C-alpha cells in the first residue's frame, strides 16, 4: 500500500472517468453489513432462495442443503479481507455419515498399500515433522453451477462455494517418504472419516497421481488460518491440494492408500469428470466425448464491494475484488464499465502467494447512468477469462467474465 | 519460451510469502463435538407418489436436494432417480421408479 491519492492515474472511459489506485480502497459502499439482519438470500436463478442458517462453529451461511450439509459463503464476506474466516468458510459433504464428535488425540492417519512399511500417524507424529504454511483458494468444482445455461442438476451454488485460507501442516511427500513407496506405486488415494448412510453407496475417496501427490505444496493441514479447523471443514486434519479443486481436499483425512493402478472408484471414474477439451467445455447436449478427472482451477475474478443490480451515488466509487487461478498466479486484473468493450488495469494488492486470492482495487468517477461493470483476470500462464461461459454436463469450472449491472444515481 | 519478468517476480514472491516454515503451529488436541441441525422441518411437496420419495430419498439426504434443483424435465428426473438407484444404491423397487419420476416431474418439473 504505497500509493497515495497524489499518485493516482486518471483514465477516461466513455462517459465516465476511471481512476486506478494501488492503495487502500475508499470507504463508502459496503455490502457486508447489509446481510446482518437478513434471514435468507435470493440467488438470481430459479429456486435460488437460501435460508441463512448458523451451523455449529459457523456464522449464518446460505443453506443449500442441510443433510448432508452444503453451506455457501455470503458473497459480501469476500470483501472483508483476503482470507476467508473459518466460521464463514463454505461447507460441502457428499455423504451424510459425518462424525459429530472427533477426538484429535485419538485420530490416526493410516498409510497403507504399495508402501515399504505401513504407518499409523497421530497428530503428535505430525508435530515432529517440518511444518509448512501456504495460503490457498479452496473452490468447489461446482461453484457457480446455478448460473449455467442450460441449467444442470446438482448442488445449486451461487459464487460462494470458495474460500481462501492460510493452511498449516506437513508435506504429504514427507509422510510418503517415511512409509517408502514400492516401485509399482502409481497413485495415492485418500479417504476421510465420513461414510455413506447405506452400505451400497460408494464411500467418498479421491486419488492423485504420484507426481501431484509428492508436489512441494500438497500438505496434510491441521490448522486453518492459524486455528483448528471447524469440524465441518475437516477437523482435525485435511488434505490441501493448492491449485486443484476442492473435491481432492479430503476432510478428516484418515486413510492414505498407495495404489499400484489408476483409481477406478466411483468418485474418480464416474463422478467429477470433465470433457477432455482445452476449456473443459462442450456444446450442451453433446454426448460421447472423452473425459478426464477434474484437476486445476481456472482463472476467475469478482467484484466484491458492489453487487449486480446495485444503485450507487454519483462520484468517486471504489471498486475492489478478488482474482485467482490454479497456481500460476494472477498477472493482471482489468475493469470495464461498458460491458467489456474497453478495459483498464486495476491495481493489484499484496501478493500472498500464487495459490491465494489476489485482491485488486480501482476507482471509478461515475456519472449518472446505467453501467455494465465487468472484471476479468489474466494468469501468469497466459490465460484470460472469456466473456462466453463454458458448459459441461457436470456444471463444473464456470469462470466466464462477471458483469454487474450498476445504476449510478 | 522466455519467461516474462512479471512471472519471475511472482514466483520469487511466493518463496517469500506463500510458503514458509510455520513457527509455533502445533496440531490441535482434544475433542470437538457438534450437533448437526436436523432437516429443520422441511419436507417434500404433497402429491401422488410423495410417500415413495419420503421412504427412499430421505434416508440419505434432505428434501432440499430436490427442491433446490432447477425445473428438470421428466428425462432429467428419470436420470436422477436411476443414478440414485444404480450408482448410490437407493433401494427403490423397480415397480415404483416410474411413480417416483412422475411425482418429481409433476411437483418439481418444468
Structural contact between residues A383 and A371, judged by C-beta atoms closer than 8 angstroms: no
Q: Which of A46, A47, A158 to probe by mutation at the B interface, max B CB count within 10 Å? A: A47
Q: Please check whether residue A209 is in contact with residue A189, taking contact to mean a CB–CB distance below 8 angstroms.
A: no
Question: What's residue A30's pLDDT?
Answer: 40
Q: State the alpha helices, DSSP H only, in A128-182.
A: 172-179
The residue ranges of chain A whose pLDDT is under 70 are 1-37
What's the mean pLDDT in B45-73? 97
CB burial readout A313-331, b (16+ within 10 A) else e: eeeebbbbbbbbbbbbbbb
**Mean pLDDT of the region B34-47:** 92
- Least Cα separation, residue B22 to chain A (angstroms): 5
CA–CA separation, A176 and A190 (whole Å): 13
Contacting B residues, span 51-70, partner chain A, CB-CB under 8 Å: 59-62, 64-65, 67-70
Query: Distance (Å, rounded) from C-alpha B56 to C-alpha A175?
Result: 42
Q: Which cell goes with A119?
A: 504407518
Q: Give me the mean pLDDT over the B59-76 stretch.
A: 97
Q: Map A252-266 to HEC letters.
A: CEEEEEEECCCCCCH
Per-residue pLDDT of A274-300, as tens digits, reads 999 999 999 999 999 999 999 999 999
Q: Is B27 on the interface with A (CB under 8 A)?
A: yes
Whole-angstrom distance, CA of residue A406 vs CA of residue A312: 7
Q: What is the pLDDT of residues A185-197, one digit of tens each?
A: 999 999 999 999 9
Please tell me the predicted confidence (pLDDT) of residue B21.
53
Report chain B residues whose CB lies below 8 A from the CB of A237. 27
Residue B109: exposed, middle, or buried by beta-carbon count in 10 A (0-12, 13-18, 19+)?
Answer: middle
Interface touch B21/A355, C-beta < 8 Å:
no
The alpha-carbon gap from B34 to the nearest alpha carbon of chain A, in Å, equals: 5
Rounded CA-CA distance A203/A194 in Å is: 8
Residues in chain A closer than 8 A to B104 (CB atoms): none
The structural domains of chain B, with segments of one domain joined by +, span 49-110
CB count within 10 Å of CB A400 equals: 16
DSSP states along A329-387? -EEEEEEESBTTSS-EEPEE-----TTS-EEEEEEEEEPSEEEEEEEEEEETTS-B--S
Question: pLDDT class for B24, splitting at 50, 70, 90?
Answer: low
Based on the number of CB atoms within 10 Å of its own CB, is A68 exposed (0-12), middle (13-18) or buried (19 or more)? buried
pLDDT at B25: 79
C-alpha cell at A181: 513407496
Q: For residues A203 and B85, what is the distance between their CA atoms, to the nearest angstrom?
A: 15
Average pLDDT score, chain B? 84
Nearest-CA distance from B87 to chain A in Å? 7
- Determine, for residues A133 and B69 on separate chains, whether the beta-carbon distance falls below 8 Å: no
Contact at CB, A134 and B19, closer than 8 angstroms: yes
CB contact under 8 A, A329 and B11: yes
Q: What is the pLDDT of residue A100?
A: 96
Residues of chain A with Cβ-Cβ distance to B28 below 8 Å are: 104, 123, 222-223, 228, 235-236
What residue ranges define each of the domains in chain A, with the CATH number in brackets?
5-30+297-408 (2.60.40.650), 95-271 (3.90.420.10)
3-state secondary structure of A164: strand
Cα A41 from Cα A61, distance rounded (Å):
9
Q: How far is B26 from chain A (nearest CA, A)?
A: 6
Q: Which residue of chain A has the CA closest to B56?
A: A198
Contacts 24+ apart (CB under 8 A), B92-98: B92/B52, B92/B56, B96/B52, B96/B56
pTM: 0.90
Give CA–CA dist B98/A40, Å, rounded. 35
DSSP A90: -
- B49-110 CATH, one of 3.50.50.60, 1.10.10.10, 1.10.760.10, 1.10.3720.10: 1.10.760.10
**Average of per-residue pLDDT across B84-101:** 98
Chain A to chain B Cβ contacts (< 8 Å): 176
Greater pLDDT, B25 or A275: A275
Q: Which residues of B touch A356 (CB under 8 A)?
A: 18
Give the Cα separation of B29 and A406 in Å (integer): 49
Q: How far apart are CA A350 and CA A2, in angstroms?
A: 11
Pair type for strands A310-312 and A402-408: parallel
Q: Which chain B residues are Cβ-neighbours of A153 within 8 angstroms?
A: 69-70, 72, 76, 79-80
Greatest Cα-to-Cα distance within chain A, rounded to the nearest angstrom? 70
Instruction: Give the gyration radius of chain A's Cα atoms.
Output: 22
Q: Are A236 and A250 in contact (CB under 8 A)?
A: no
ipTM score for this prediction? 0.89
From the CA of B14, how many Å to the nearest CA of chain A? 5
A216 contacts B37? CB cut-off 8 A: no
Q: Does A24 sit behind a cis peptide bond, omega within 30 degrees of 0 on the bond before it? A: no
- B39 CB within 8 Å of a chain A CB: yes
Note whether A102 contacts B31, CB cutoff 8 Å.
Answer: yes
Eight-class DSSP state of A227: B
Amino acid at each position: 500500500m504505497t500509493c497515495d491519492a497524489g499518485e493516482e492515474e486518471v483514465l477516461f472511459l466513455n462517459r465516465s472517468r476511471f481512476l486506478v489506485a494501488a492503495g487502500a480502497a475508499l470507504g463508502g459502499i459496503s455490502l457486508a453489513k447489509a446481510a446482518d439482519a437478513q434471514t435468507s438470500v435470493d440467488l438470481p436463478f430459479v429456486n435460488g432462495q437460501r435460508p441463512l442458517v448458523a451451523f455449529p462453529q459457523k456464522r449464518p451461511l446460505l443453506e443449500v442443503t442441510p443433510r448432508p450439509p452444503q453451506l455457501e459463503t455470503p458473497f459480501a464476506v469476500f470483501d472483508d479481507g483476503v482470507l476467508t474466516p473459518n466460521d464463514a468458510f463454505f461447507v460441502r459433504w457428499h455423504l451424510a455419515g459425518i462424525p459429530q464428535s472427533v477426538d484429535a488425540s485419538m485420530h490416526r492417519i493410516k498409510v497403507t498399500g504399495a508402501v515399504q512399511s505401513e504407518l499409523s500417524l497421530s497428530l503428535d507424529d505430525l508435530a515432529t515433522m517440518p511444518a509448512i504454511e501456504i495460503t490457498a483458494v479452496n473452490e468447489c468444482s461446482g461453484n457457480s453451477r446455478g448460473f449455467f445455461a442450460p441449467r444442470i442438476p446438482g448442488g445449486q451454488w451461487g459464487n460462494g462455494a470458495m474460500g481462501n485460507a492460510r493452511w498449516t501442516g506437513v508435506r504429504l511427500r514427507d509422510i510418503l517418504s517415511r512409509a517408502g513407496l514400492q516401485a509399482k506405486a502409481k497413485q495415492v488415494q485418500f479417504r476421510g472419516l465420513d461414510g455413506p448412510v447405506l452400505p451400497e453407496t460408494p464411500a467418498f475417496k479421491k486419488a492423485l497421481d504420484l507426481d501431484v501427490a509428492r508436489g512441494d505444496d500438497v500438505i496434510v493441514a491441521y490448522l486453518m488460518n492459524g486455528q483448528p479447523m471447524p469440524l465441518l471443514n475437516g477437523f482435525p486434519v485435511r488434505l490441501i491440494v493448492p491449485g486443484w479443486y476442492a473435491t481432492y481436499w479430503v476432510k478428516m483425512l484418515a486413510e492414505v492408500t498407495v495404489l499400484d493402478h489408476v483409481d477406478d472408484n466411483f468418485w474418480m471414474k464416474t463422478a467429477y469428470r470433465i470433457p477432455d477439451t482445452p476449456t473443459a467445455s462442450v456444446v450442451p447436449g453433446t454426448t460421447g466425448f472423452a473425459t478426464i478427472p477434474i484437476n486445476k482451477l481456472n482463472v476467475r475474478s469478482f467484484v466484491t464491494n458492489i453487487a449486480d443490480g446495485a444503485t450507487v451515488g454519483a462520484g468517486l466509487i471504489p471498486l475492489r475484488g478478488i482474482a485467482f487461478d490454479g497456481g500460476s498466479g494472477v498477472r493482471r486484473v482489468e475493469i470495464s464499465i461498458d460491458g467489456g468493450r474497453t478495459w483498464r488495469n486495476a491495481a493489484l494488492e499484496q501478493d500472498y502467494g500464487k495459490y491465494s486470492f489476489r485482491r485488486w482495487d480501482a476507482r471509478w468517477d461515475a456519472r449518472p447512468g446505467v453501467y455494465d461493470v465487468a472484471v476479468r483476470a489474466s494468469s501468469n500462464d497466459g490465460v484470460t477469462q472469456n466473456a462466453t461461459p463454458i458448459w459441461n454436463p457436470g456444471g463444473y469450472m464456470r469462470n466466464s467474465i462477471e458483469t454487474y449491472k450498476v445504476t449510478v444515481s | 519460451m522466455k519467461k516474462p519478468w512479471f512471472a519471475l517476480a511472482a514466483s520469487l514472491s511466493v518463496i517469500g510469502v506463500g510458503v514458509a516454515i510455520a513457527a509455533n503451529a502445533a496440531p490441535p488436541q482434544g475433542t470437538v463435538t457438534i450437533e448437526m441441525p436436523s432437516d429443520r422441518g422441511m419436507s417434500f411437496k404433497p402429491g401422488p407418489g410423495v410417500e415413495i420419495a419420503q421412504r427412499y430419498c430421505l434416508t440419505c439426504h434432505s428434501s432440499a436436494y430436490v427442491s433446490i434443483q432447477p425445473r428438470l424435465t421428466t428425462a432429467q428426473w428419470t436420470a436422477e432417480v436411476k443414478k440414485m438407484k444404480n450408482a448410490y444404491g437407493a433401494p427403490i423397487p423397480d415397480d415404483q421408479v416410474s411413480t417416483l419420476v412422475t411425482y418429481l416431474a409433476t411437483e418439481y418439473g418444468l
